[in-house]
Structure 1
Amino acid sequence: MMDRRLLSRIDEELDSTEVAALCFLCRDVISGKRLEGIKDAKQLFLKLEERELLQNKFFLTQLLRTIHRADLLNLIEADSRQTEETDARPMLSEYRMMLYKIYDDMTRENLEKFKFLFNNEQRRKMEMCNTALDVFVEMEKVGSLSNTNLTELHEILLEIDQQLATTVQKYMQGMRPTSTQKHVHTQTLLPVSMDPQRINNTPQPQPFLSMSETQPSYGAESVYSDAQSTTETPSLSDSADYYDLTHKPRGLCVVINNEDFSGTGLQNRRGTQEDAKALNKVFTNFGFEVVIHNNLTARNMRAEIEKLGKRNFVNDDALVVCVLSHGENECVYGTDEQPVVLRDLTLPFKSGSAPTLAGKPKLFFIQACQGSSYQEGAVPCPPTPAPEEVERTSPLEEDAGPVRSETVPWDADFLIGMATVPECKSFRNTVTGSIYIQELCKQLTKSALSSEKDDIHSVLTRVNREVSRGRYLTHKQMPQPKYTLTKKLVLKYI
């Protein structure tokens, strides 16, 4: 929770017009009725606290940035106690920010013209509106304006100011066709993200467990099974049940690691370098050639994937692609804050497009959120002892992420490991890396050094169990593997 003294200081610096603007921007996360009667920022902050929107600094940061109060942003940045961030997708809607931009650019003369041209039965209420924001609220009340109904607004603005009409037109052109998606990706609009969250728990996230830190029982007694080239000919049952891993190197592991974001809507992803290091170590030990691409725009992400899809995989046993970035439903983001649909990442590797990968495992691990909701927990019956919780001062962040299951291409021999289930956030420690990737690397290492012949499904089941036991910023996280593997995949060090 943000410090009340800091919030009080911000309240003192905001005038009534700015408070009204903040209330307008919050109308998609707080009902209009609950916003009625708010006279100062302290009252608004209380409402935001009730919605858990001030557990971190990012939502308030985006509000203040939108109303051009850079001086107050400096106050927040100077508060060293705010150590958590998130990759969660914006809670502040681009629709409302588009309306705010129109208000910000509208002259008093144009406001009066707008009020005159808007013909409705609530003429008296319209005349009482002092700002364009007041006008927009009245239009919404009578059903003349919504995030999917912008025709009348656009037509009126065409009469009074072409530039203002262009702002609406750009938003309308960027709207997605589905009713559940209301985000726009244009240069005009400012994406906003709900970010740092503070945690109310006790010790957890553990740093990546390196090989030297694993339990002695795994020791050097590694069983390489089919992950090791041997002179023995595998039995027919082994050939039928297990993917063949005999080449050196085994294949290619590509890591797209997005940390630095160029815009103002998404924060830099501190701690992601630890994930890249962990993945590099684990898959190098598995015998893969590891290639890391840092800070790719959406266009460059697509270009690298397209280039990779044209590779001749005849001498590769498998392909691994890891994407570490911000995201939301059905997509991850490039560093330019533009989306890349998960389907675009997997499509080039279908058997029809990459025939030399046919029958070979294709593993995708996505560290990003799938939405802005939190995963909550329930007490089992009978209840089990509570797991060790995360330390309150732990610098955790949320990784907001991609991909509804229906967008994933379910062709043979794919495995897609998601950091979280659809609609929910995932979490990242700004010092030790993301909860999911670090646990994944830990369990892969444990399995590789074990005498058991655990396949990737067993490994990911343990990842699910360990991640789901923790509490992160008072919430839960539930990873989700999805696969169409036709054989067992056993990864051992070589």
Structure 2
Amino acid sequence: MKGLNMDRRKLSQIDEELGSSDVEALCFLCLDVLNRKRLEGIKHARELFLRLEEKGLLDNQTFILHLLRTIQRFDLVRFLDTENQRVVETDSCPLLSKYRVMLYKIYEDMTEENLEKLKFLLKENLPRRLMEKSRTALDVFSELEKAELLSQTNVDGLLEYLLRFDQKLASLVRDYKDGAQLNLHCSMNDKQVCVGGICAGRQSLPALLPQKPVLSIPETENYFGGMTIVSDAQPITKPCSPPDEAEFYALVHEPRGLCVVISNEKFTGPELGLRRGTRKDEETLEALFTKFGFKVVLHRDLTAQAMREEVNTLGQRNFINEDALVVCVLSHGDQGCVFGTDEKKVSLKELTLPFTGIQAPTLTGKPKLFFIQACQGKEFQKGALPCPPKPAQEKVQTQLEEDSGPVYGETVPSDADFLIGMATVEECKSFRHVVTGSIYIQKLCEMLEKSAESTEPDDILSILTRVNKEVSKGNYMGQKQMPQPKYTLTKKLVLTFVKENMN
């Protein structure tokens, strides 16, 4: 294989093609093969190449190719005329540290917002001046390594912090941990291993070594700091609970998020009637979510196609500076769908699909709430009445209408962080008062407001359970209504009033 000592012209050209961020990344990736001091002050790739040459790492093209492939400079890989040459790597002796490649991937995928979150969380572990000086995640990782708070064998603290705000980044660390433990077990082969004073050969390893050790650290304890030391024979019987913040969705931006209300009142076809009372639902939703700190956008009387276009456009929006999305659809409906004003169907899946992690990456890890006021079929929800309706109720009952239409599908998305609050269960009707608004939306807003006014607000699922109870107690045109929440939330969501919006 031709040595790179014979290709100095190419190295010089590669140096010209690499920007400062590329050089910074290459230096970080080389921290396991070069002394940190030898890498300090390097501004140009040619300086790094000289250091690598001194260590004999440029005797062939393998190492430099692996570096370029890792930072995804495939144009330079092709430039070296080695496109058909495979980089040889084994699990036992990788060309680049899997630990460092893992950190580089985190750096690549980390947004500016998440970098600021990480630096904020680390303020008690590292001096403020170091965090202010750190421009990138690579700088942060380097400072953690200098302080001996991060290493190939100690990534638990980093994992705990990433779990607070980005599950995908945390999965990179978790995958590395699992792979490192597997390699540790495999590398022991037939060596004798002693655990807690008990020695065993290779066959006994699975029983003696935990496959996935769990590290739990209380909120007040330094995540990267000191370790509790116990004897090999002394188990930790009371693991600490994870921090409370990790259990709740963060609502910190102004505005908190976007609340979109699609309200269909007037239908152009012969089958679906005027939805009197929907204006009251609009007013109630707008007033409530404004107090929650959301920007409220109202769309009235949309056709099926217009509804699709609206949610698709909304899904392409940048939500990086918002914490949540709320979509309220007030219309006639059938099983698994709602109707546009042209009496054509829009499936609930069409409403949620534009906001999955793949379609709307800036909403990943953030709660997406859908409240659907519409019938889901033609059946009435039956119930046992304790006594006959009183005559005084007749007038009220005649002002109730159904949000029904001609029925069909599954609505809960498979992706995380969705909640779909349905006014009724599948195949059944929901009811709307022509003056005071729909039963479900009004009771939902009432319960949300009561919780927000409480000294100890409830999470959204507890509130929806209360809504179920309150709505199901009612008697509507001699029938019952049973709401149904469906969710894939991964944390608790607590909605509270923003002070400036309470007046």
TM-score by length of structure 2 reads 0.49
State which structure, 1 or 2, has the greater radius of gyration over its C-alpha atoms: 2
Structure number with higher relative contact order (C-alpha < 8 Å, ≥ 6 residues apart): 1
TM-score by length of structure 1 reads 0.50
